[in-house]
């Protein structure tokens, strides 16, 4: 019985630009609110204290009296302030002239009170005194009508300023954020459209001047590397196919010859068998090299490293070369007792590639030198010849796969253009490096640096 998987509802995508704008707008609104409230409180406080200090001289005169009669007289003679004096029972003892003229109702309050009279707002404040064995209460009144009007005007302006500021910040911030993140939208669009047919897509950085330029440049550099690697891979496949096509064509040609005439003509039979064997070995050599490179690219190559005598290996290389080639002068200068830690067979394979190239491109009677010496923490193996040399334009590319200089394209030279690439892989896998110098008509020198154990 088939079960249907429950579809998970897709969460709606929210704009990153909108979220950033909303976050900073909210942050701005919070701080603006705090600032406006503080300003509002300071304005109110300043207004209240200005009124208080306006009547403070009158209060000081009242408090300077030592008797009840003096206090009553001081209050009744005051024409500028609003005062009333109550006894312990809440009865009015004295009123200031201004309080009487404004006809305010006197209430007995404990600390603070408020009242509205004739469209004006008053706040009252009580101060307790003890004179001549009597508990007295001085009521001080403040007309805060103007203060409230100021507060209303300031509050309205503050709200208007708040709304305009928040709206402006949000709109402008959202615009700038979207403008900033437009590069990310382009990034997403380009990334979605990338395929093997359009690896040349790049982000436009001409109009960007902020930190996102580095992101776009990093993306473009990444695409440069991907495109270059893809083109190399395509070229590798193309070159490998081309290299395999030639021996396959030769084998097919001789197979047809065998089918037609090989049964009756022994000369054709032997020629065909020899050619097929030769091309089969050529194909086997190419396939082995391709597999070696593929293992390196997949990072599955296994090196069997051990400490060995590099001097002994170089002596062995000299003997092998003398046995294989008798038409050229083989010289050597090998410093004894140099040991390295590595895969002996692979290092020998790399050195053999350099020696074979020296033999291939050095005319009979020429000189080939195999040297080994110490250079600091490295063992330096050198293969030097006085052969044809390598041109300056070819020198930077000789370690590229399937690359062959013009002199190597001759059919009798053989090879697939993979030898130096393989040698370079082996040396780099051992933590070493290769230096090469060459001049056309004078010869070539390869120096292989391997860390000394």
By the 10 Å C-beta count (0-12 exposed, 13-18 middle, 19+ buried), 187 is classed as: middle
- CA 254 to chain centroid: 59
pLDDT tens-place string over residues 119-173: 888 888 888 888 888 888 888 888 888 888 888 888 888 888 888 887 887 787 7
Between residues 259 and 341, which one has the greater pLDDT?
A: 341
Please, what are the domains in the chain? Answer: 16-168 (3.30.450), 198-301 (1.10.287.130), 306-451 (3.30.565.10)
Nearest-angstrom CA–CA distance, 283 and 264:
28
- The average pLDDT across 302-331 equals 91
pLDDT band at 8; cut points 50, 70, 90? very low
Return the bridge partners of 112, or none: 125
Between residues 259 and 346, which one has the greater pLDDT?
A: 346
Residue whose structure tokens are 């009170």: 113
* pLDDT tops 80 at residue 12: no
Assess contact for 162 and 33: CB atoms under 8 A.
yes
pLDDT tens-place string over residues 413-448: 556 788 898 999 999 999 999 999 999 989 999 999
For the chain, what is the mean pLDDT?
A: 81
Rg (CA), the chain: 50
Nearest-angstrom CA–CA distance, 330 and 321:
8
């Amino acid at each position: 019985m088939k079960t249907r998987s429950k579809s998970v509802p897709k969460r709606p995508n929210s704009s990153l630009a909108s979220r950033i704008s909303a976050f900073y707008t909210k942050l701005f609104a919070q701080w603006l609110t705090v600032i406006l409230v503080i300003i509002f409180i300071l304005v109110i406080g300043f207004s209240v204290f200005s009124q208080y200090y306006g009547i403070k001289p009158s209060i000081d005169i009242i408090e300077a009296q030592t008797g009840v009669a003096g206090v009553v007289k001081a209050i009744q003679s005051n024409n500028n302030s609003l005062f009333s004096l109550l006894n312990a029972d809440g009865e009015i003892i004295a009123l200031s002239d201004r309080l009487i003229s404004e006809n305010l109702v006197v209430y007995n309050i404990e600390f603070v009170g408020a009242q509205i009279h004739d469209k004006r707002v008053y706040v009252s404040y009580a101060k307790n005194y003890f004179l001549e064995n009597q508990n007295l209460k001085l009521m001080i009144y403040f007309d805060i009508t103007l203060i409230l009007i100021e507060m209303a005007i300031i509050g309205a302006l503050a709200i208007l300023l708040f709304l305009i500021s928040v709206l402006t910040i949000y709109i402008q911030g959202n615009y700038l954020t979207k403008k900033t993140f437009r590069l990310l939208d382009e990034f997403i669009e380009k990334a979605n459209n990338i395929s093997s047919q359009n690896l040349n897509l790049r982000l436009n950085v001409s109009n960007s001047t902020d930190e996102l330029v580095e992101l776009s440049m990093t993306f473009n550099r990444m695409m440069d590397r991907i495109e270059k690697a893809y083109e190399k891979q395509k070229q590798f496949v193309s070159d490998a196919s081309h290299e395999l096509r030639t021996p396959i064509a030769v084998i097919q040609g001789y197979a047809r010859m065998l089918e037609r005439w090989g049964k009756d003509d022994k000369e054709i039979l032997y020629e065909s068998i020899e050619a097929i064997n030769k091309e089969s070995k050529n194909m086997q050599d190419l396939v082995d090299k391709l597999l070696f490179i593929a293992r390196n690219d997949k990072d599955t190559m296994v090196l069997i490293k051990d400490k060995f005598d590099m001097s002994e290996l170089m002596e062995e290389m000299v003997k092998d070369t003398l046995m294989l080639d008798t038409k050229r002068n083989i010289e050597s200068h090998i410093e004894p007792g140099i040991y390295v830690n590595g895969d002996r067979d692979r290092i020998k394979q790399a050195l053999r590639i350099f020696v074979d190239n020296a033999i291939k491109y050095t005319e009979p009677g020429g000189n080939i030198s195999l040297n080994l010496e110490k250079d600091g923490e490295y063992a330096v193996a050198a293969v030097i010849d006085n052969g044809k040399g390598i041109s300056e334009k070819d020198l930077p590319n000789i370690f590229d796969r399937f690359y062959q200089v013009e002199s190597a394209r001759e059919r009798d030279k053989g090879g697939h253009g993979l030898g130096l690439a393989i040698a370079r892989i082996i040396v780099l896998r051992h933590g070493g490096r290769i230096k090469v110098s060459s001049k056309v008509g004078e010869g070539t020198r390869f120096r292989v640096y391997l860390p000394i154990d």
